[in-house]
Structure 1
Amino acid sequence: MFLLGIGIFSAATSDDVPEVKENTVLVIDISKPMMEQRVEQGLPIPGAQADDMMGLHDVIAAIDAAAKEPKIKGIYLVGANNALGFANSTELRHALLRFKQSKKFMYAYANYYEQRAYELAAVADFIYMNPAGSLDWQGFGVQLAFFKDALDKLGVAPEIFYAGQFKSATEPYRLTKMSEANRLQMTDMLQQLYSHFLQNIASSRPKADTAALRVLAHELGMQAAQDAVTAGLIDKLLYDDEVKEIIAKKTGAANIEKINFMAVKDFIEVALQAKEQPTDKIAVIYAEGEIVNGKSGDGTIGGETIRQLLRKARFDKNVKAVVLRVNSPGGSALASEVIWREVELVKKEKPLVVSMGDYAASGGYFISCGADSIFAQPGTLTGSIGVYSMLFDASKLMSQKLGITFDEVSTAPAASMGTPFRSMSAVERRFFQNGVDSTYQQFLRKVANGRGMTIAAVDSVAQGRVWSGNTAITNGLADKIGTLQDAIACAARMAKITSYSLRQWPEVESLWDKLFNEKKDQQTSMAITIQQQLGVEFATAWKHIQLLKQQAGTPQMRLPFFVMPPANGK
């Protein structure tokens, strides 16, 4: 067992870099989940199925490196689904467009295409699809669940406090349908995302225009595979072996089995292998997930963790600038405040630029607003400047449904304030609402100071409303449309450096970290298992229940909905 353990460890920690052969074709599966940074889910045991998730920016770096690598002849883009959100999908799309400037080929193939996967495939020189496949084309839609009637039947009364007429995170518990304010913001946001999506398709496919694409969706005009060819969205209907015959001829391979395919995951190791690093550095700090108190965990941004990383960058004399990559719907107001403070301290000593991912909303915007410059994508969901707090009164459920009653003694009337087993008094409700209102005013002041706006101007675009990246720039909440690479280049200009290397934090956990962090591994495995067994929708519901437990009674700066990859193209 000891020798076996050494063998596994040696294989897992080997420094061997995969070999790039002549006439290699880089394979990118766009259906594979990608985080901002790569995530190693467990011990990389030889022969076992790998659950690791690639890092989006590692993939982008690999694509840029492939454009310059003489042995790479082209890219084979596969996958029927797009696992990325709107903004990060745009970042990957820009990398593919840059690759095309190398004049190397790019072919895309799938048995069928979900419409947002097609947005990436549209970049390719030729798009092929299985003759029995289909191209989903029915527009974008959002469906929200409301629980008020269910809570009424159970005898559970939500105690809700919020600031901002668009702060709709609490609506599922107090309403049976969207408020008019929420319907307005959701409609506007969806239309902007859809318009940007159609513009991307039209720019890549000369025979398509946005008006015709809208008509196709309205009339469900993409019934059969041939309809996609007729519309100019698919070049040819072919089987997998026929597409590979084309690639074989393009690369000079004797047959399809002799094509030198290389997965992008393997080429990442080549692209990122150690090179001589300049002394001057730009720190890229990734803040991805829900904002929580304490340390970062699975899919969360720990206020203490990010504070320590920002402080580390502040005191490192070789770090000349900092880029904070934010991909967060928000969360704890207190943890957001902890991060905001450290952003302010960094900014006094060196440039700090924020790059927004799929979302940087509510608390995610709170930690961004003080930056020297803010970059977003058109599909970034941001703003949501508002606050809420929520508890539940389950006293009727206990007494009328279960026959359980409670009694108490205390030294003050509000000693048990926040308990779910009695109703709140008017004084206690006022206490919670005052806390929410106070936090909202602090939010407005911090945005006003960070963005050089008046509090009244911020309040006019706040009220909890969610904005797209484009509108955020118009409203003064962001500065420029751009990728993470653009944000890094901006930070370098502000720091007046031309030669630099990147220092990326938090660092990806080593094998030893995995061995001695069993609890986190168990949490990660549980989340993955739930998603695999129940699907994305039920996994999101489970996550929602966990969040309700975490945020009970504490002020929250959070996006009013979960953002997740579309199901069935919607």
Structure 2
Amino acid sequence: MNYYEPPSAPQAAPQPVAQAPQQPNNQYHQQATGNSGYTPRPKPSSRLRRIFGGMGAAVTTLRNTLANIIFLLILLLIIAAISGNTPEPLDDKFALRIEPTGILVDQRSYIDPASLLLSDENPQENETLVSDIVTAINNAEKDKRVTMLVLEPGRLLGGGISKLNEIGQALEQFKAAGKKIIAVSDNYSQDQYYLASFADEIYLHEMGLVEITGYGRYMNYYKSALDKLGVTIHAFRSGKYKDYLEPYLRDDMSDESREHNSQWINELWSNYTGNIERLRRLPPGSINDYVNNLDAHMALTEGDSAKLALEKSLVDKIGSRQEIMQALTQHAGKRKKGDDYKGVDINRYLADVRKQPFPTDDKVGVIVASGSIVDGNQPDGSIGSDSMVKLLRQVRDDKNIKALVIRIDSGGGSAFASEIIRSEIIALRDKNIPIYVSMGTVAASGGYWIATAADKIWAQPTTITGSIGVFGAFPTLEKSLEKIGVYTDGVGTTELAGTMRLDRPLSDKAGKVVQHSVDHIYERFIALVADARKQEKTAINEIAQGHVWTGNKAKEIGLVDELGTLKDVIHAIAQDAQLDSYKVEVVQRPLSPKEEFLRSLAQGQAGALLPKSLVNHFASLSILNDLSPVLKPLQDLKNMNDPQGIYVQCLDCVIP
């Protein structure tokens, strides 16, 4: 089964531009008559005329020169784009090279095409699409040209165990077809090693390390700092386990938060260790022994971490880069040029695979809902209520889409935006289009609110879901202002006038109003879950309260219907829709002609032809991107745009 990008929107043909008739270039074109009363001004001296004429000529020359430079740059970009999009044909036999970079995601964050074109580095390397890797592996399993698979996870930063398991399932099917997988890296982080464990053989540099430390959930708590700054956080919630606001209200983790976080994080760790021990044929408890007694184990190998990994059967071969490359060339063959093995990366491989025509027009649509749920139109990487509605209506208007899978990877967000999306999914179901939800790493709180609208909910065993609870919060700064001698006073016509100002304390009456709203939204949440899951409200309330569950546990208590990957969900809905043959289409916002043009240039690596100084100038304009970790709390505040300030929010999407 193949994922592919939907056809781009056709570019509109350029329209002729009407030009206004030129006026005579002579300020004295109006002729004086004896009775007009008009007296012509004397002509400027020939010297002044020469000066101004010279200045005009210089400006014209400069303008024409700049226009020619811009034209040449555009021409070079077009040539580069055309030449860059003509890949060489693939060899008859080769190894598929899987080299994920950055964070594993279900949807790439939006990057402005101009920034993508002018960037000195490729910003897309910060994220890797899980669907691209899975699609490449699934096709390679049946492709006779692909002799083996080389997994190079050294640049992978993480993405969550659920996404790693999704890739792992495809890798296991590849091995079941009788094809070999070798994993290679100088070092292995925790997530990198988990992915490598699906390989037949794991190679490690002779000075490398397998770094497994376990899962943890540790946060900063700000109450004392906020008290010193005079910031008052007004918090309202429904659900005793709804701990999203705890870092602002306490200096440590509450007992309730410790209870439910311990449950899901230990379950995920058990999945991690159990799968590695199964795949590497290790005795139960081996991974915990390796981590908990690492100091003693390292002492026995005199600090040689690579030797320890080999002795503990975590890897199969250690050696220098040259020795490991020699081993790879023995398995996959050697390139005609250089010492590298004969490998093809997934981008080049997918470009070749996707050239093949598909025999049917029937489609299963896939909409990816990834990121925080926010009101309005939002770029890729966030879930905007209006943006999502537009995608759902694209599905409604496409008569070839016979079924829809919504892939949710979100810890929630705005309650209002979640409801706008949920009601639109219900409206689409009323058009007799079956809709299944596939949960990714996280589909909790607002993510679960959206999921309730589907015909069926699928999760993975390690998905984080539930967190059915509601909160509202905002700060006031009256104490901070008092510290510097600023006070607020005035009059109002009612008791609530001016109560929601940052420079005034929140009144008890206003606080009760907000709490009533939070309680109402929570009751609405409970009711829609009970209706969707065909259970009593009291039963749902027992498992709600903001409690976080894994996919395994969620199936036991009736919050999800089935367990499986996105591929499993697509196969199931196609069967239920009685589709014998179908293609899978990711439903995306159509690019504007400008975006499409610039993105095609960037993909053709046309930016390499731009002067380095020009590229550096534009890159310097985005220096604030380096401050993104520091500014993240401000970004979170910016995204909190619910009309009533009420949220169904749980966790960040990238968790263990």
Q: TM-score, normalised by structure 2?
A: 0.79
Q: Would you say 1:32 and 2:102 are equivalent positions? A: yes
Q: What are the equivalent positions in structure 2 for 1:77-116 lying under 5 Å apart?
A: 77-80=151-154, 81-116=156-191
Instruction: Report the counterpart of residue 377 of structure 1 in structure 2.
Output: 460
Unaligned runs of 5+ in 1: 518-524
Structure 2 distance, partners of 1:563, 1:313, is 26
Query: Which structure has the larger Rg over C-alpha atoms?
Result: 2
Q: Would you say 1:66 and 2:140 are equivalent positions? A: yes
TM-aligned CA deviation for residue 258 of structure 1: 5.2
Unaligned runs of 5+ in 2: 1-69, 299-304, 600-618
Deviates more, 1:102-111 or 1:11-20: 11-20
Q: 1:11 to 1:102 in 2, by over 3 A?
A: farther
Q: 1:12 to 1:565 in 2, by over 3 A?
A: farther
Instruction: Report the counterpart of residue 342 of structure 1 in structure 2.
Output: 424
TM-aligned CA deviation for residue 21 of structure 1: 1.4
Structure 1 distance, partners of 2:177, 2:386, is 43
1:390 is paired with a residue whose SS is strand
Instruction: Report the counterpart of residue 151 of structure 1 in structure 2.
Output: 226
Instruction: Report the counterpart of residue 521 of structure 1 in structure 2.
Output: none
TM-aligned CA deviation for residue 33 of structure 1: 2.8
Q: Would you say 1:245 and 2:326 are equivalent positions? A: yes
Q: 1:18 to 1:544 in 2, by over 3 A?
A: farther
Provide Cα deviations, 1:105-153, integer angstroms capped at 9, x if missing partner. Answer: 2111111111221111011111011111111122211111111000100
CA contact (8 A) 1:38 1:508 kept: no
Structure 2 distance, partners of 1:428, 1:123, is 56
1:428 is paired with a residue whose SS is helix
Provide Cα deviations, 1:8-60, integer angstroms capped at 9, x if missing partner. Answer: 13533665345221332222123433321355734565995322244220221
2:535 is paired with a residue whose SS is coil
- Aligned pair partner of 1:3 in 53, 58, 72: 72
Structure 2 distance, partners of 1:563, 1:220, is 30
Structure 2 distance, partners of 1:62, 1:181, is 43
- Aligned pair partner of 1:477 in 559, 575, 583: 559
Deviates more, 1:380-389 or 1:137-146: 137-146
Instruction: Report the counterpart of residue 647 of structure 2 in structure 1.
Output: 556
Instruction: Report the counterpart of residue 616 of structure 2 in structure 1.
Output: none
TM-aligned CA deviation for residue 231 of structure 1: 1.1
TM-aligned CA deviation for residue 427 of structure 1: 0.9
Question: Which amino acid is the alignment partner of residue 16 of structure 1?
Answer: T
Q: Would you say 1:262 and 2:344 are equivalent positions? A: yes
CA contact (8 A) 2:395 2:587 kept: no
- Aligned pair partner of 1:192 in 267, 279, 303: 267
Q: 1:382 to 1:10 in 2, by over 3 A?
A: farther
Structure 1 distance, partners of 2:343, 2:278, is 29
Structure 2 distance, partners of 1:528, 1:10, is 27
CA contact (8 A) 1:18 1:269 kept: no
TM-aligned CA deviation for residue 530 of structure 1: 6.1
Q: Would you say 1:12 and 2:81 are equivalent positions? A: yes
TM-aligned CA deviation for residue 62 of structure 1: 1.1
Question: Which amino acid is the alignment partner of residue 129 of structure 2?
Answer: G
2:210 is paired with a residue whose SS is coil
Instruction: Report the counterpart of residue 471 of structure 2 in structure 1.
Output: 388
Q: What are the equivalent positions in structure 2 for 1:81-230 lying under 5 Å apart?
A: 81-206=156-281, 208-220=282-294, 223=298, 224-230=305-311
TM-aligned CA deviation for residue 302 of structure 1: 0.5
Aligned length: 551
CA contact (8 A) 1:394 1:422 kept: yes
TM-aligned CA deviation for residue 511 of structure 1: 7.3
Question: Which amino acid is the alignment partner of residue 547 of structure 1?
Answer: D
Deviates more, 1:406-415 or 1:109-118: 406-415
TM-aligned CA deviation for residue 551 of structure 1: 2.4
Question: Which amino acid is the alignment partner of residue 90 of structure 1?
Answer: N
TM-aligned CA deviation for residue 494 of structure 1: 1.8
CA contact (8 A) 2:158 2:191 kept: no
TM-aligned CA deviation for residue 406 of structure 1: 2.0
1:285 is paired with a residue whose SS is strand
CA contact (8 A) 1:363 1:557 kept: yes
- Aligned pair partner of 1:51 in 123, 129, 140: 123
CA contact (8 A) 1:37 1:58 kept: no
Q: 1:475 to 1:17 in 2, by over 3 A?
A: farther
Q: What are the equivalent positions in structure 2 for 1:384-463 lying under 5 Å apart?
A: 384-399=467-482, 401-463=483-545
Structure 1 distance, partners of 2:384, 2:622, is 21
Instruction: Report the counterpart of residue 506 of structure 1 in structure 2.
Output: 588
1:253 is paired with a residue whose SS is coil
Deviates more, 1:255-264 or 1:169-178: 255-264
Q: Which runs of 4+ in 1 moved over 4 A?
A: 43-48, 507-511, 514-517, 525-531
Structure 1 distance, partners of 2:551, 2:621, is 30
Q: 1:12 to 1:458 in 2, by over 3 A?
A: farther
Deviates more, 1:425-434 or 1:234-243: 234-243
Q: 1:40 to 1:150 in 2, by over 3 A?
A: closer
TM-aligned CA deviation for residue 7 of structure 1: 3.0
Provide Cα deviations, 1:309-353, integer angstroms capped at 9, x if missing partner. Answer: 112223433221110010111001010000000111222322110
Provide Cα deviations, 1:260-290, integer angstroms capped at 9, x if missing partner. Answer: 2222222222233352351221111110100
TM-aligned CA deviation for residue 460 of structure 1: 0.8
Provide Cα deviations, 1:413-434, integer angstroms capped at 9, x if missing partner. Answer: 2132321111111110000000
1:392 is paired with a residue whose SS is strand
Question: Which amino acid is the alignment partner of residue 548 of structure 1?
Answer: L
CA contact (8 A) 1:540 1:562 kept: no
Structure 2 distance, partners of 1:47, 1:550, is 26
2:634 is paired with a residue whose SS is helix
Question: Which amino acid is the alignment partner of residue 211 of structure 1?
Answer: G
1:356 is paired with a residue whose SS is strand
Q: What are the equivalent positions in structure 2 for 1:324-343 lying under 5 Å apart?
A: 324-343=406-425
- Aligned pair partner of 1:495 in 570, 577, 584: 577
TM-aligned CA deviation for residue 467 of structure 1: 0.8
Structure 1 distance, partners of 2:559, 2:655, is 25
TM-aligned CA deviation for residue 468 of structure 1: 0.8
1:339 is paired with a residue whose SS is helix
Question: Which amino acid is the alignment partner of residue 500 of structure 2?
Answer: G
Question: Which amino acid is the alignment partner of residue 12 of structure 1?
Answer: A
CA contact (8 A) 1:28 1:76 kept: yes
Structure 1 distance, partners of 2:318, 2:293, is 23
TM-aligned CA deviation for residue 4 of structure 1: 2.4
Structure 2 distance, partners of 1:409, 1:381, is 49
Instruction: Report the counterpart of residue 358 of structure 1 in structure 2.
Output: 441
1:181 is paired with a residue whose SS is helix
CA contact (8 A) 2:97 2:345 kept: yes
